[in-house]
Structure 1
């Protein structure tokens, strides 16, 4: 008989305790916030280092981003199966420590002029591998420290952190690169990983080890079980395919963005960072809207509204131009609106996953979905680099926007628009 798992305090009572008063959640949230912020600082610093060191082209930036995201395609499934067997917090701490080491090493190499394409790709690959373990372990860790009645609230705070970091991190990186250098900016990313370790270790809440698997430790069978669960659920199946396609275009866009802003629009790296930082403001607004909107319209429709709007607004990007003030206004509007609605969508998707997937499958199921949703990113990076080289930056961005518009249309025709109670609807799956 399996050992009983520890029920989070919030789940034992009937009332909703504020998560801001929960020390275990605060340690988790702080670790996630500073670590993800550092990852995003480093994520923008890597192409800036490449541009400064050897005047990297769009195709070379595509290869760098492909190396950064390739571990999601290669390692997500075995990582998820392994994480389901393990305590989650040590995985988070180890990923942060490894990331700290490689960022410090690259920063030092950059300052002495020893950076080349191979070095940046290797660092990107290690960073991506750390991100695989950190992201999957983080998603699987949250339901073990808060109750089910607080998942929407907890995911709202976490998704605000994720989108804030995706916007605020590049904003910090852009300013630091302008004031110092792209290589020195990597030290800020490394420091964030170290702060995350300290936050995670400050939690005094013990983590129960997962119960041993019955019938041995057949990882292949466990991976097959999680994939069968995803394929058999119409909501998870749809969202996995949709996110995989959408994320490919998202990374294609981000691959082209630095060159588009710096070269085509002739703006500074500070402006690039601040434009991306507008998404942090949008993320904050989205985190406050996500829960009441879902309670009013339902999880499914809220996901459609969030992701659909976030995709449609991308049309502003290839249109940006004219006087500097107008180009900046269009770009900040794009990232502010996108940050808000993507946070709304992601918050409710995370909650839906945690509602539908049994806890003992959660790490593997998240890994299975991210093998597709994040595994498409290296392909998107290569696509963006190839399009930018063949068509020019603005035309390439217009092609990418067509992909976003197709994603929005597919969402409007999806089963999410008629979702009622996902736990009840699940019984009617194909």
Structure 2
């Protein structure tokens, strides 16, 4: 079975070596640039959670969007990432990285802030919400590509596994607090005002990114006398993915997994409340269990992957996460609440370790000047199937029922995860 060896860190120089990383055992959070990235992840996650909740509530409660309208809002938030991520990767490798991340975040703040302004002027409509969801999704995906390319320039390669675990933990903190904050703000002040709080979170994120070292403004791809065409630049990123067996399998497994997972996610709340009859407090507890499992996954990811190897950790956790999805339709045969608790715990734990191991693998085996493009190609492949699965799952469930579609979604996810085990 393949093992992914960790390459030795590059020879440190005055420009590339993060301050303090030459001392063994130094806590990553004492390294100022990395601490800034952790703070950015918390602020960004809170902003996205509040934005998602407020936009959905505005569409359903104020603008009378139906089931398809609500699904379309979700799909539009994912589609730009699928379409634009490869081009974002080309931009990231050529751009002044710190300035680019600040610009994307400021634009995000302005775009989200347009909704409460339109509501105050009594001019808010569904087309604007769809446009905001689309642009917000595009900016989020571009920023994600940029930050994946920035991390290996902030910490050494030997620290990437721990760094990705810590960033996932920071992001999880925002995911736990974001929905609660959004719900309280919507209840007290209304959805438009809650979006002002989301805009404030993006403003804090921009300030944290602005404080990153100016060395990140040195483009990863050196300038050449003969400028590379955009087509050639995209092909270079694709060639890395095609040339690395691990990356090829990750694309196939992740895309198929998200196809099935997107269908399951789209039906989960409807199935839990209508078919299983879970009250609101049980549904909230189910989601809280996922957050707890994610935190546990963050704590275990580094040790687990270091013990058995990144490649093997990815394979095992992918299959466990896919098998957990079968507990959703299985909840119709047993007490539903315990079954969904078990699903969220197993899925949250396994999927978190899988995501951390997969991201670290990608960063380790990608040449530095191509990290943006490779991250863009992978992100496009991984998230492009989510809206397809969500819309397809909803349409099939109206015809076949929730349980058969949920079973089929779990089967698709398992077959995709099994691709990682092919000889």
Work out whether the TM-score is over 0.5.
Answer: yes
Matches of 2:184 and 2:414, distance apart in 1: 32
- Alpha carbons of structure 1 residues 398 and 181: separation in structure 2 relative to 1, 3 Å: farther
Q: Evaluate the alpha carbon distance shift between residue 299 and residue 282 of structure 1 in structure 2; reply closer, same or farther with a 3 A threshold.
A: same
Q: 1:380 aligns with which of 384, 389, 397?
A: 389
2:314 alignment counterpart: 303
Query: Structure 2 residue aligned with 1:402, among 402, 408, 411?
Result: 411
Q: Hey, what does 2:227 align to over in structure 1? A: 216
1:125 maps to which residue?
134
Correspondence 1:196-275 to 2 at 5 A: 196-204=205-213, 206-210=215-219, 211-261=222-272, 263-264=274-275, 272=283, 274-275=285-286
CA distance in 2, matches of 1:58, 1:118: 16
TM-score by length of 2: 0.86
Aligned to 2:8: none
Provide the residue aligned with 1:156 in structure 2. Answer: 165
Q: CA deviation at 1:72?
A: 1.5
CA positional deviation for 1:333: 3.3
338-347 vs 198-207, which deviates more? 198-207
SS of residue matched to 2:413 = helix
Number of the residue aligned with 1:358? 367
C-alpha deviation, 1:15, in angstroms? 2.4
Contact 1:247 1:376 in 2 (8 A): yes
Indicate the residue corresponding to 2:3 in structure 1. Answer: none
What's 1:346 paired with? 355
**Distance in 2 (alpha carbons) for counterparts of 1:278 and 1:187:** 29
1:100 to 104, 109, 116: 109
Shift of 1:331: 3.1
2:422 to 414, 424, 427: 414
User: Residues 124-174 of structure 1: CA distance to partner in whole angstroms, max 9, x if unpaired?
Assistant: 101111012110001001111111121111011122334554555345445
The 3-state SS of whatever aligns with 2:24 is coil
Which stretch of structure 1 is more off in the superposition, 144-153 or 201-210?
201-210
Task: Look up the SS of the partner of 2:218 in the other structure.
Answer: coil
Q: CA deviation at 1:222?
A: 1.2
Question: Deviation per CA, 1:248-279, whole angstroms, max 9, x where unpaired?
Answer: 22222333334444555566767655532322
Aligned partners of 1:169 and 1:277 also within 8 Å: no
> How many residues end up aligned between the 2 structures?
409
Superposed CA deviations along residues 358-412 of structure 1, whole A, max 9, x for unmatched, are 110000111111121122223223213322433344443333222223234334x
> Is it true that 1:314 corresponds to 2:322 in the alignment?
no
Match of 1:9 in 2: 18
Q: Does 1:192 align with 2:201?
A: yes
The whole-number CA distance in structure 2 between the counterparts of 1:398 and 1:183 is 38
Query: 2-side partners of 1:113 and 1:214: how far apart?
Result: 54
Q: Relative to 1, partners in 2 of residues 1:407 and 1:123: Cα closer, same or farther, differing over 3 Å?
A: same
Q: Distance in 2 between matches of 1:188 and 1:70?
A: 25
- The DSSP-based 3-state class of the residue aligned with 2:216 is coil
2:95 touches 2:217 (CA, 8 Å); kept in 1? Answer: no
Q: Secondary structure at the match of 1:9?
A: coil
For residue 207 of structure 1, give the secondary structure of its aligned residue in structure 2: helix
- Which TM-score applies when normalising by structure 1? 0.85
68-77 or 135-144: which moved more?
Answer: 68-77
Over 3 Å counting, the alpha-carbon distance change for 1:219 and 1:273 in structure 2 is: farther
1:102 to partner: Cα distance: 2.4
Is the 2:259–2:413 Cα contact (8 Å) retained in structure 1? no
Distance 2:278 2:242 in 1: 45
- Deviation string for 1:82-127 (max 9, x for gaps)? 1100122222222222222222322454578755432222111011
CA 1:56 to 1:398, structure 2 compared with 1: closer, same or farther past 3 Å? Answer: farther
Q: Which segments of 5 or more consecutive residues in structure 2 lack a partner in the other structure?
A: 1-12
Cα–Cα, structure 1 residues 147 and 300, in superposed 2: closer, same or farther, change >3 Å? same
Residue of structure 2 in register with 1:135 after alignment: 144
Give RMSD over aligned pairs.
2.9
State the 1:328 CA deviation: 4.4
